[in-house]
Chain A
Amino acid sequence: MKLTKQINICLMAADNLRRFKGKTIAVIVSLTITMAVCSFMMFTRGGFIRDAETARDFLPDVTVQGIEAGRVAQISLDIIPKIKDIPHVKYVFPRVWGYIPLKIDETDVSYTLMGLDIDHFPHEIDHNTKNEIKLLSAIEDGYFLVPGDRKKAVLGYGVAESFRVDVGDIFAIAQKFGVDVGEIKNIGDKIKIEDLLGNSGEFEIVGVFSNKVQIYTTDLIIVSNEDARNFFGYAEDKASDLLVYLDDPAHADNAAFMISQLFENTRVMTSKALTDLLKEAFGRRGGTFQAMWLIMLMTLLLLIWAQSAHIGVDVSREIGILKAVGWQTGDIIKLKMFESLICGLFGTIGGILLGFVYALMGTPGISGYCIGCASVYPKFPVPVSCDFGSLFLIFLLGVVPVTMTSAIPAWLTGTIEPDEAMRS
């Protein structure tokens, strides 16, 4: 009996929504748009956070940069032995890296050429230690550079896509020539690229990173340190920074503190600090949308409230009639809540689907803002992450306020005497 009563009231609520089609459609469409903004924001934010966490796995426990006149500068390799003496330090690798500015299809783009100490880099992944160097396991095609590899490169997924190259192709970076990205290259082909700074190089592609780690690797070209030195014109005893790996990442803060104490002209960052920076950057962008969404939701709720609070003569009369024929105030509130619940559910589900599709489409129009590295070419898709927690939160934010916003005015009208409600 009680269930039948709830079903009866729910069906009547659906009938009422059908009766007031215009108002119903207006509420559902507004809510769908609002929740779509909320959804794509949550999904992309979740994606960025997930990618930032993934990227953390690829970062060394501690990164040491040189500082000169208060600015980041090249670092001397002389300090490596002293860093190695710090407790828990397992490896210290110099890294030489820089940007390669290019013009592709009339678009200014930039890739990162990164040289690693290939000859000493651990190539056997030690699964027993927490600080395994995961770059090695992120290769999708081919292999990671091995000791002795020169003029060879591992490409990020975005770079490989840009130049339509694959494992075994020759990847060339040359001066003052136009870039041809229009055809798939084969082994032995040369790709002429104009580096706007005058740098040049030629490498054989031996591996391509998986697209699952794009946020960290999409614009990367990894070569040996020697090749990177030649490319950027670094001296033998200099590097861009030092990568410090520990036997236990839990000691990262201590190690970082000791390095910063030992060497004054250095900037020392733990992987956590770098990840937090990354998260904060994306979080700030997410915050913009969060603020936008909050404003939209508040506007919508105010509109619903204004409309519900200013209950029309027809609705007030209807509530009076229902009370007069024996309906209880609770049933009337339930009726109005069911009406809002149905609107809320439809609007929220529609918004989630719309937001998800928009996020999957790469958030057209705002992807550059979302990703924050608009010079990466081709554009890598905005990461999307959809989990139960996010969905639950979206439902909570979409359905509950809308339901409550119309329930309160219904309660206010429902508690006045039937003859008064019919007369008002």
Chain B
Amino acid sequence: MIKIEKVSKRYQSGKVWINALHNVSLDIKEGEFVVFNGPSGSGKSTMLNIIGCLTRISSGRFLLDNEEVSHWPDHFLSSIRTQKIGFIFQQFNLVTGYSAIENVALPLLPLGISKNARLKKAFSLLEKLHIETRADFMAQELSGGQQQLVAIARALINDPKIILADEPISNIDSRHAENLINILTELKKEGKTIIATSHIQSGINRLADRNFTFKDGAIS
């Protein structure tokens, strides 16, 4: 399903060029639960961003569903993100000024779905995650754990095949972390392909079918 071949990623930070990934290769099959481990700056989040089509590779090949998408134009990558990928960010990345339910419904907006239909679908997901009582709360009014649940609901709104979770338990307390692990377990049972990153050994690693450890931009 996901094939990474000798992928390198370089980017410029000020005047300095940074080699975030160097000749990394890996395969992930449909329905697998994979965890990228490694310390900060090891390249695991960059790899997750590449798989999520949030950034482009500098060299190598990235195949998604047997199609090389590395050099696809921006609007095709947007379509992939809409149809196939749900992203749970470490910082949740909710849009402030919007309510929880509006944030969840955000990916549906450019698809031409009416407001009522969008909000109905978003509410059902919030119900599924037992956070429907906070539907009308502004994003900034929610606790870290609640924001995480809203971010998960947003990632699931388009029923994607792939769930990407960047350090999903690093910014929430242990109670919410347990809840999150349960949710990911459920998603795995539903056949979703899940790729998560973690800088420490945690409950997520126990769920993983495979663990990849990143160090200095390569898999060790």
User: Does A326 lie within 8 Å of B55, measured CB to CB?
Assistant: no
B154 within 8 A of A: yes
A329–B74 CB distance below 8 A: yes
Contact in complex: A2, B110 (CB < 8 Å): no
B78 is an interface residue with CB less than 8 A from chain A = yes
> Which of A321, A325, A419 is the most central at the interface, judged by chain B CB atoms within 10 Å of its CB?
A325
A1-24 residues with Cβ-Cβ distance < 8 A to B are 1-5, 8-9, 11-12, 15-16, 19
Asked if A290 lies at the interface with its beta carbon under 8 angstroms from chain B, I say no
Q: Count B interface residues, CB 8 Å.
A: 31
Cβ-defined contact, B97 with A323, below 8 A: no
Known contacts A5-B111, A318-B95; decide if A325 and B87 are in contact (CB<8 Å). yes
In the complex, B14 has a CB within 8 A of chain A: no
Q: Is B25 positioned at the interface, with any CB of A under 8 Å from its CB?
A: no
How far does the alpha carbon of A317 sit from the alpha carbon of B95 in the complex, in Å?
9
Which residues 197-228 in A have Cβ within 8 Å of B in the complex? none
**Contact digits for A312-330, partner B, Cβ 8 Å, 1 yes 0 no:** 0010011011111111111
Q: How far is the CA of A4 from the CA of B114 in the complex (A)?
A: 6
Check A415–B74 contact: CB distance below 8 A: yes
B75 touches A329 (CB 8 A): yes
Closest chain A residue, CB of each to CB of B83: A326
- Please encode chain A, from 404 to 424, with 1 for each CB lying within 8 Å of some chain B CB and 0 for all others: 000000000001011110100
Decide: A328 and B114 in contact? CB cutoff 8 A.
Answer: no
> Does A331 touch B at the CB level, under 8 Å?
yes
Contact A5 B110 (CB under 8 A): yes
Decide if B78 touches A329 in the complex (CB within 8 Å): yes
Alpha-carbon distance between A314 and B115 when the two chains are bound, in angstroms: 25
Chain B residues contacting A330 (CB-CB under 8 Å) are 75
Complex: chain B residue closest to A318, CB-CB: B95
Bound state CA distance, A306 and B146, in angstroms?
A: 37
Q: How far is the CA of A322 from the CA of B110 in the complex (A)?
A: 10
Q: How far is the CA of A2 from the CA of B75 in the complex (A)?
A: 16
User: Are B79 and A326 in contact, with the CB atoms below 8 A?
Assistant: yes
Cα A417 to Cα B93 with chains together (Å): 15
Given known contacts A324-B93, A329-B75, A419 and B55 CB-to-CB distance under 8 angstroms: yes
Residue of A nearest to B117 (CB): A4
Q: Name the distance in Å between A365's Cβ and chain B's nearest Cβ.
A: 41
Q: For residue A323, which residue of chain B has the nearest CB?
A: B78
Most chain B Cβ neighbours within 10 Å, of A1, A19, A324: A324
From A4, A322, A323, A418, contact of B113 by CB (8 A):
A4
Which of the residues B75, B87, B110, B113 comes within 8 Å of A9, measured between beta carbons?
A: B110
A377-397 near B? 1/0 per residue, CB < 8 Å: 000000000000000000000
- Closest chain-A Cβ to B147's Cβ sits at a distance in Å of 13
Inter-subunit contact B74/A4 (CB<8 Å): no
Taking CB atoms, residues of chain A closer than 8 Å to B96 are: 314
Instruction: Write the chain B residue with the least CB distance to A421.
Output: B54
- Beta-carbon contact of B75 and A324 below 8 Å: no
A325 touches B154 (CB 8 A): yes
Q: Using Cβ atoms and an 8 Å threshold, which residues of chain B touch A12?
A: 109
Which residues of the partner chain B approach A320 to less than 8 Å between Cβ atoms?
A: 93
Count of interface residues, chain A, beta-carbon cutoff 8 Å: 33
Overall SS of chain A's interface: helix
A326 touches B78 (CB 8 A): yes
Establish whether residues A8 and B56, one from each chain, have CB atoms under 8 Å apart when the complex forms.
no
A419 engages B49 (CB within 8 Å): yes
Chain A residues with CB below 8 A from B93, complex form:
317, 320-321, 324, 422
Given contact pairs A19-B97, A325-B107, A417 touches B54 in the complex (Cβ within 8 A): yes
B79 x A8 contact (CB < 8 A)? no
Residue of B nearest to A20 (CB): B97
* B106 at the A interface (CB under 8 A): yes
What residue in chain A is nearest B86 (Cβ atoms)? A325
CB distance from B40 to the nearest CB of A (A): 14
**CA distance in complex: A415, B112 (Å):** 22
B61 contacts chain A at the CB level, 8 A cutoff: no
Q: What's the Cα separation between A228 and B79 when bound, in Å? A: 87
Flag if B107 contacts A418 (CB, 8 Å): no
Instruction: Kindly provide the distance from the CB of B44 to the nearest chain A CB, expressed in whole angstroms.
Output: 13
In the complex, which residue of chain A has the Cβ closest to the Cβ of B155?
A325
Contacts of B79 in A (CB 8 A): 326, 328
User: Are B115 and A324 touching (Cβ within 8 A)?
Assistant: no
Q: How far is the CB of A149 from chain B (nearest CB, A)?
A: 77
Query: With an 8 A cutoff between CB atoms, is B124 at the interface?
Result: no
Q: Is the CB of A419 within 8 A of B110?
A: no
Question: Given known contacts A8-B110, A12-B109, A322-B106, is B75 in contact with A328 (CB within 8 Å)?
Answer: yes
Q: Given the complex of chains A and B, what is the CA–CA distance between A8 and B52 in angstroms? A: 25
How long is the Cα–Cα vector from A329 to B74 in the complex, in angstroms?
8
Contacts of A9 in B (CB 8 A): 109-110
Asked if A418 and B54 sit within 8 Å, CB to CB, the answer is yes
Cβ < 8 Å to A, chain B residues 26-70: 49, 52, 54-56
Q: Are B74 and A8 in contact (CB under 8 A)?
A: no
Residues of A within 8 A of B (CB): 1-5, 8-9, 11-12, 15-16, 19, 314, 317-318, 320-331, 415, 417-420, 422
- Other A-B contacts than A323-B78, A329-B74, 15 sampled, CB-CB below 8 A, are A4-B112, A4-B113, A5-B112, A8-B113, A8-B114, A15-B98, A322-B95, A324-B52, A326-B83, A326-B107, A328-B78, A328-B79, A417-B55, A418-B55, A419-B49
10 chain-A/chain-B pairs, Cβ below 8 angstroms: A2-B112, A4-B112, A5-B109, A12-B109, A16-B97, A322-B95, A323-B81, A324-B89, A326-B82, A417-B55
Of all A-B residue pairs in the complex, the 7 with the closest CB atoms, nearest first, are A326-B82, A5-B112, A1-B112, A19-B97, A325-B107, A328-B78, A419-B54
